[in-house]
Structure formats: structure tokens, C-alpha cells
Amino acid sequence: MPKFDNMKRITILGSTGSIGTKTLSVIRDFRDQFRVVGLSTFANLSLLKEQIEEFRPPAVAIVDTTKVNDGRALARQFQIRALFGIEGLIELASEIETDLLVVATVGSVGLLPTLRAIEKGISIALANKEVLVTAGQLVMRAVEQHRSQIIPIDSEHNAIFQCLQGNDRNAIRRIILTASGGPFRTSSKEEIEKATLEETLQHPTWAMGPKITVDSATLMNKGFEVIEGHHLFGVDIHNIEVVIHPESIIHSMVEFVDGSILAQLAPPDMYLPIQNALTYPRRCPTNLPSLDLMEVSKLTFFAPDFSRFPCLQYAYNAAVKGGTMPAVLNAANEVAVNRYLRKEIGFSQVPEIISHVMAEHSVGDAASLEEIQTADAWAREKAQHYE
């Protein structure tokens, strides 16, 4: 859609998910600043229909190809374009004129659309961290080559992004990623092993989609964020630390070479990092409540326990190995978490599967997309058939 005003044109991949719907709630509150030009879902056509009715995007993508007939009917009803399958998602991301692509899909499925958009020089607001875990080097190289940019939506990386404004990235000594600790922060190893799916899905501070909620319970989510931070900010893995901070008030910190630590604080609500990514480089007033420090009263910090949460260690190991190993870590995790969500395996088998698949992998240098995709497919197959 051509630009005929000063509004920022936004496309959202995964608009029917937790981040996608929150992004639309930010847009709803700033209607004079943003225009939605593309939306996508895997299969949730009823929510997509409501979103089309409200935001009138000229194009949508529906990835589940069993929904083609219903999708075409929807497109006819609203006289918009409907694109289908992963090719449709890639086309929506890279061929529709847009100023900012919000990547809020889940898993490595976001990689190709993000990469193609970057190659067109489109700016990315990234929630879908698996994109950087799978192919961080390749993606960041493309960002540089095509003069694109990635503005992080993940609250931790958005916090770091904010702390770095006006500061020299070469002066970073250390990044401190905060973690709520998830629902099993104080549980024993035995209790964690017996945890039901319902218990796993009860996150203490954040309401999120099912996959990231499981990743938060295993701390794999924090491990992914270590890898994401390494690529986004060019900081050595050994200089990225994780600190358990159950209040989820400090969203992360940067220590500079002079010993100063800058932190970003706010009540835990994804609205704020999403708004920051959408309005960047401007800051706009919100209706979010101010943080009441007297009410918070106390902020606490603990070291993560790698023996109860081995996934965090696996993520560090994968990052240190480098090459195709992070893609394998991610793919094995995606399959294991899906199997857990389908109740095929128990909670403790999630790390077991990942560790097994990583141990079997011969690491390649991840120089090409094809090599990464081959490693990803190999790991999925292994993780699917592990008993």
C-alpha cells in the first residue's frame, strides 16, 4: 500500500498470538501513528476475521494450507489479498510495502520471512527469538549488508536496547539478563520431574503463548535469550549472565567498562516493550500505571541453578560450540516441547531429548541457510523419534 500520510505502516506475523494481539492493542491506542498493512495467522481464522474487521489490512497470510477455502472466502468478503502457506508468509513479510515488520510467530518458522524482509531493507521488531537462536550470524550479517535494523521486543533485550541508547556498545563489560525463575523456581528436582502440564503452564508473572511458557519453566527461554543477546548486541557469550529476579521489575541490565550498571524497570507487561519498539526512536505517553517503588519495596536476586534447570546450561554449551549447534538446540527443543504439550512425554524428558540430540550432532559451520536448515531438519527427526 503506498504511503500517503506520515503513519508508520506495520505488518504483523503471528497477529493472532499473545504478542500479536498485544501489538494490535498498542496500535489501537495509537491509531493516529500506525496503519496495519498485513496480518497473519497459522490457523485462527475467527480471530483473524475480527482483526481484519477492525484494522482493515490490505493483505493477510494464512499458513495452514487446509484453510485455503475459508481464507479465500474471508478475502472476498473484505476485498483484500489472502496469501497461503509459508510462501504466503514470506510474501507478506517481504513484498508488501511496510515500514516495520513485527515478527511475533513462534519457532524457527519465522526465520525465512524475517530474512527475506531484511534483504529488502525492512526494519524488524523481533519477538520471535528462535530466529536469532537458529541463524543469528546469518541474520545479523544480512541486517548489516542490507542496512536493516532489529528492534527487540523481548522485554529483556528491549531493556538492554534502551540502556544502550546514547552509549558506546564497545564499552559494554557485561549484560545481566533477569529471569523470573518460572513456576518451578523453588521446586525440588523431584517435584519438577513430577510436574503436570497444568502446573508448568502457570507462569508466576507473565501471560504468554504455550511454547514460551514451557520454555520459561525449563529456563530454555533464558538460554535462548543469552544467544539472542549475543547476536543482537555483539557481546561475548561469557559476558552474558543470568540472574533470577522473581519480581520481574528490572527487565535486564548492562554493565559498562567503568563499572556503571544501567537497568530498565517497569511493571511486567509486554505492552511497554512493544510500544517502545513500535514508536522507536520516539517515546510516547501511555496509560500504563507508573511503577510504585514503595509497593514493590524489595527487589531480590539469585543465581540460577543449572542442575535443576539443565536447559540453561545446554543453551550456553550450544552457543559456545557455535555453528549449527544452536539451530539443533532450538529444533530439538521445539519438538520436545510440542511432544510435552501433547502429553506424549513428561517434563524431565524435554531436557533429556535435547541433550541426546545435541550429543549426536556433528557441528557444521552454519555458513549457509541450507546448512542450517539441514541441521534443523535432522534435529527434528531425531527429537521426534527419541523414546
Q: What is the DSSP letter of 153?
A: -
CA 220 – CA 247 distance, rounded (Å): 19
CA 39 – CA 17 distance, rounded (Å): 11
Residue selected from 92, 212, 220, 311 as contacting ligand NAP according to rule CB under 6 A: 212
Spacing of C-alpha 251 from chain mean position? 15
Q: Contact between 39 and ligand NAP (CB under 6 A)?
A: no
Minimum CB distance to ligand NAP smaller for 167 or for 206: 206
Q: Contact between 43 and ligand NAP (CB under 6 A)?
A: yes
| Largest separation between any pair of C-alpha atoms in the chain | 61
Q: Contact between 330 and ligand NAP (CB under 6 A)?
A: no
CA 78 – CA 243 distance, rounded (Å): 48
Size of site (CB under 6 A) for ligand NAP:
28
C-alpha cell at 40: 497473519
C-alpha cell at 188: 525440588
Residue selected from 9, 10, 11, 17 as contacting ligand NAP according to rule CB under 6 A: 17
Q: Contact between 129 and ligand NAP (CB under 6 A)?
A: yes
CA 228 – CA 179 distance, rounded (Å): 14
* Cis ω before 268 (30° cut-off from 0): no
Residues 69-108 as x/- pattern, contact with ligand NAP by CB under 6 A: --------------------x--------------xxx--
Residue selected from 209, 267, 346, 364 as contacting ligand NAP according to rule CB under 6 A: 209
Assess contact for 319 and 226: CB atoms under 8 A: yes
101, HSE (Cβ side, Cα atoms, 13 Å) = 32
Which of the residues 227 through 246 are near ligand NAP (CB under 6 A)?
A: none
Q: Minimum Å distance from CB 147 to ligand NAP?
A: 25
Q: Minimum Å distance from CB 216 to ligand NAP?
A: 9
Strand-pair partners of 60: 39, 82
- Per CB under 6 A, the segment of 37-45, 93-101, 138-146, 353-361 that binds ligand NAP is 37-45
Minimum CB distance to ligand NAP smaller for 16 or for 252: 16
Q: Minimum Å distance from CB 208 to ligand NAP?
A: 3
Q: Contact between 270 and ligand NAP (CB under 6 A)?
A: yes
How many Cβ atoms are within 10 Å of 238's Cβ, its own excluded? 11
Q: Minimum Å distance from CB 7 to ligand NAP?
A: 23
Q: Can you state the percent helix, strand and coil of the chain, rounding each to 5?
A: 50, 15, 35
Nearest to 327 by CA among 385, 285, 383, 249: 383
Q: Minimum Å distance from CB 238 to ligand NAP?
A: 24
Task: Please classify residue 224 by burial: count the beta carbons closer than 10 Å to its beta carbon, then call 0-12 exposed, 13-18 middle and 19+ buried.
Answer: buried
- Per CB under 6 A, the segment of 92-100, 122-130, 324-332, 355-363 that binds ligand NAP is 122-130
Q: Which residues form the interface with ligand NAP (CB under 6 A)?
A: 14-20, 41-44, 63, 89, 104-106, 109, 127-130, 154, 206, 208-209, 211-212, 270
